[in-house]
Amino acid sequence: MTQAEAFGRRVRRLALNRQGTEAQVFLEEGFLYLRADGFARFAQGEGEEALAGFALLKGGVELRFRDGSTLQLRYRLGRLQAHFS
């Protein structure tokens, strides 16, 4: 099992701000806060040590892990979807 699959099983909810500069990934215990704008780019919280990088997308986030796996989280028709690669 890749790091993306293991992390994806812990995800419960995703919250994005309207500007697309901040996201919160709520997990079973705790959350991961992501911010990317002209002033700062950082991840903070549960699971940040496993991340190699992230991208805030329109309507979702893409998390890249140190083992090379990727997890995309998006809402589609009101349901949270996770795609692994």
pLDDT band, residue 77 (cuts 50/70/90): confident
| pLDDT at site 67 | 94
Q: Each residue of 12-60: pLDDT tens digit?
A: 999 999 998 999 999 999 999 999 988 888 899 988 899 999 999 988 9
| pLDDT at site 7 | 94
Q: Which amino acid is at 12?
A: R
| pLDDT at site 41 | 87
